[in-house]
Amino acid sequence: MKVTRGTLEAQRHRFVNKIASLGPWIEGTFVSTSRRCGKKNCACHQGGAKHPVLYLTWKENGKTLSLYVPKRWEIGVRTWVDNYKKLKALIREVTLLQRQVIGLREDEE
């Protein structure tokens, strides 16, 4: 089956619609770790379990930055990070299709 500009553009249109239907996104990595708190009398300072803590991390100007994520925001931020991964994959697919359109070397109508 010969690939035509029309079929490639239809595929691209489907991917662009998927991009438009994505919810909010955010670039970064969701990190769950643990740490000692600031209370010197807390059990975490006497060898007890550390407190769970959530962060969003990302790179900026070659440095890794992090932002504390309150527990109540965990599901939302995880969803945004997942949506960003989906967005990147969809952009990759659109890019591949656009390269194929260019490769057809057809004149614009």
Please write the tens of the pLDDT for every residue from 19-53.
999 999 999 999 999 999 888 888 988 888 999 99
pLDDT at 109 over 60: no
Residue 100 maps to a domain = yes
Could you give the 3-state DSSP secondary structure of residue 106?
coil
108 — pLDDT class (breaks 50, 70, 90): low
| Structure token pair of residue 105 | 């070397």
107 — pLDDT class (breaks 50, 70, 90): low
Q: What is the pTM of this model?
A: 0.81
Q: Are 58 and 27 in contact (CB under 8 A)?
A: yes
Backbone CA torsion sign across 9, 10, 11, 17: positive
Could you give the 3-state DSSP secondary structure of residue 52?
strand
Measured CA angle at 71 (ends 66, 77), to 5 deg: 60
Residue 92 maps to a domain = yes
Please write the tens of the pLDDT for every residue from 82-93.
999 999 999 999
Residue 109 maps to a domain = no
**Number of independent structural domains in the chain:** 1
- The residue segments making up the domain with residue 42 are 7-104
